[in-house]
Structure 1
Amino acid sequence: MRIVIALGGNALLRRGEPLEAELQQRNIERAAQAIAPLARDHELVITHGNGPQVGLLALQSAAYTDVKQYPLDVLGAESEGMIGYMLEQAFANELEQRDVATLLTRIEVDENDPAFERPTKPIGPVYEESVARELAEQRGWSVEPDGDGYRRVVPSPRPRRIIEINTIRTLVNAGVLVVCAGGGGIPVIRVPSGDIVGIEAVIDKDHAAGLLARQLEADAFLMLTDVDAVYVDWNTPDQRAIASASPADLRGLDLPAGSMGPKVAAACEFVEGGGSFAAIGRLDDASGLVDGTAGTRIAQTGESLSFRP
């Protein structure tokens, strides 16, 4: 099978952990160990998040006042290269006979997307409210609550077209394990002259991964996170883990917009677009997501809403 795997932020950095390179490398090595068994039997394309990393790069850029701050598309490219290098090295060490390549990936968005009028995508570290408000005043940021603190938020337009899709397809067809479209890809627009230019935004990684899976005509689309399944009545005494569902079953659920909501929407779009199945669950359960023994499996036919014991 051809499988697109989207690694959640927990594969790189768990909430509360410091943004240290050595710690991220250890987490990525753990991710590679969990995914390697699938790579031995299937074609894999790996994508990943970058929220904390691109936020840190933005802070570092802002701290050096002798030059203008670097724009988010450039910082996104930097983070994609940095994380891609770590993933590439970890997978190459786990799969000694497999070629692995990282590809910086531009993804086109609509410059008139309403998201540019309402920033919602959190990046960077979590701050206490007073610190966040002060930084917002100093740097012209938008900030919003995130868990027990506040984070910077930036525009998150929907991905429309993957510029490098033919290159990715060529590499996959040649048997290469490809790391691409990291952090939602590098956001670009097409100007009236026909040129492609970067734009100040961060694309949601789940929607970008879903678009990647559809355009590659993948058989399966896995989203690996730190939650073992999609839940109804989450964080209440009545919460239940969904084992299997159709897109129609999931469309009516009220899910958090900042976490599980985009994942479920991306999974549904993939299946509705012709994919065999999508699955959402824990990184350590990657193989179980493929064989249906773990996580939440979404398929158009042959699946009915059911819950895990």
Structure 2
Amino acid sequence: MKVLCALGGNALTSAEGRARPEDQIAAVTTAAGGIAELIAAGHQVVLTHGNGPQVGNLLVKNELAAAVVPPVPLDWCVAQTQATIGVILANALEKALADRGAPRPVTVLVTRALVRSDDPGLTEPNKPIGRYLPLAEAQLLIDHGEVWRDFGAKGWRRVVASPEPVEIVDAPAIRAMVDTDCVVVANGGGGVPVVADADGLLHGVEAVIDKDLGAALLAQAVEADVLLIATDVRHVLLGYGTSAERALTRTTVAELRGFAEAGEFGTGSMAPKVEAALRFVDRTGGRAAICSLDDIVPALAGDAGTLVTA
């Protein structure tokens, strides 16, 4: 099968949420083992990943250095983290494949995702990112043109645009590399957001794309049979945080959509994963699974995680 495996950004940190280089390398090494097992078993795998904690680190550096150098634009932060995480993944995966006697070339493609210039998500920044700061510290970033919002007692936090991805610009290159038996790491963090001007030229924009929606679009673009979303939980949970909490192991598009519309997943981190799974299965007739990094292999077989079918 052709599998699009999406690794969550928070799942690429330590169990305590640390994102030091050694923490990220350790988490990626764990993920590489399961991915290598899939490839060694004969499956064709395309990889993508989140980058929230990593972009967060860059934003802190922006904040600390703002009085000395201009902050790096947000689309540059996405591109930088795509490359960094991709190289770590490539190194770990090539070793894991060699250890299993199944060597493959692994390549990393910094990938652009097209968004519409009239997307309301571009004109109404509302996605909070980064850390909270007192107004005195946030003001320097505001003076550099960033949008910050007062969150009361917590302090001020940056809010950014989060438009919908409509096309993976570099999909033809990704497909060409997949066709030559490369394992491709692409579209990290949902893709570097770009818009087309009146002449059709592409320009980066200060925005972030939801990584899970980007993964669903990439899975469609490479004609994957399965979208596998690996995160830091083992299942989708119903009744989260209540005495009625239970794991959802197998479900259909209709049933899962009903749970989503009933507010089971709120606006938290699980909601976009559920939406990505729904979009992929609904549009392609394939299947999706949401699982932990440790359960990648059994999840593909339908024996772990939450399996979503038509």
Query: Distance between the aligned counterparts of 2:88 and 2:223, measured in 1?
Result: 27
Number of the residue aligned with 1:262: 272
Number of the residue aligned with 2:88: 86
Give deviations 1:113-172, integer Å, cap 9, x for gaps: 111243343433x44xxx355544442343587xx9985432111001111101100111
Query: Distance between the aligned counterparts of 1:6 and 1:143, measured in 2?
Result: 31
Query: Distance between the aligned counterparts of 1:211 and 1:175, measured in 2?
Result: 21
Instruction: Find the partner of 1:72 among 63, 71, 74.
Output: 74
Deviation at 1:55, TM superposition (A): 2.2
Query: Relative to structure 1, is the Cα distance of residues 298 and 144 closer, same or farther in structure 2, using a 3 angstrom cutoff?
Result: farther
Instruction: Find the partner of 1:233 among 218, 235, 239.
Output: 239
Query: Distance between the aligned counterparts of 2:158 and 2:87, measured in 1?
Result: 26
Number of the residue aligned with 1:304: none
Deviation at 1:256, TM superposition (A): 2.6
Correspondence 1:251 to 2:228: no
Computed over aligned residues only, the root mean square deviation of the Cα atoms, in angstroms, reads 2.0
Post-superposition, which runs of at least 4 consecutive aligned residues in structure 1 deviate over 6 A? Answer: none
Query: Distance between the aligned counterparts of 2:62 and 2:182, measured in 1?
Result: 34
Contact 1:3 1:218 in 2 (8 A): yes
Deviation at 1:298, TM superposition (A): 0.6
1:1-309 pair list within 5 angstroms? 1-14=1-14, 16-40=16-40, 41-62=42-63, 63-96=65-98, 97-124=103-130, 126-127=131-132, 131=133, 133-140=135-142, 141-142=147-148, 152-253=158-259, 254=263, 255-300=265-310
Name the amino acid aligned to 1:57.
Answer: L
What fraction of aligned residue pairs are identical, expressed as a percent?
Answer: 41
Name the amino acid aligned to 1:3.
Answer: V
Query: Distance between the aligned counterparts of 1:17 and 1:177, measured in 2?
Result: 28
Name the amino acid aligned to 1:29.
Answer: T
Corresponding residue SS for 1:263: helix
Deviation at 1:288, TM superposition (A): 1.4
Contact 1:35 1:287 in 2 (8 A): yes
Contact 1:133 1:143 in 2 (8 A): no
Name the amino acid aligned to 1:84.
Answer: G
TM-score normalised by length of structure 2: 0.89
Please list every run of 5 or more consecutive structure 2 residues that lacks an aligned counterpart in the other structure: none
Name the amino acid aligned to 1:171.
Answer: M
Contact 2:236 2:247 in 1 (8 A): yes
Please list every run of 5 or more consecutive structure 1 residues that lacks an aligned counterpart in the other structure: 301-309
Query: Relative to structure 1, is the Cα distance of residues 151 and 247 closer, same or farther in structure 2, using a 3 angstrom cutoff?
Result: farther
| Greater mean deviation of Cα atoms: 217-226 or 47-56 | 47-56
Query: Relative to structure 1, is the Cα distance of residues 248 and 20 closer, same or farther in structure 2, using a 3 angstrom cutoff?
Result: same
Query: Relative to structure 1, is the Cα distance of residues 23 and 68 closer, same or farther in structure 2, using a 3 angstrom cutoff?
Result: same
Contact 1:224 1:281 in 2 (8 A): yes
Deviation at 1:220, TM superposition (A): 0.2
| Greater mean deviation of Cα atoms: 77-86 or 51-60 | 51-60
Contact 1:11 1:27 in 2 (8 A): yes
Deviation at 1:248, TM superposition (A): 1.0
User: How many equivalent residue pairs?
Assistant: 294
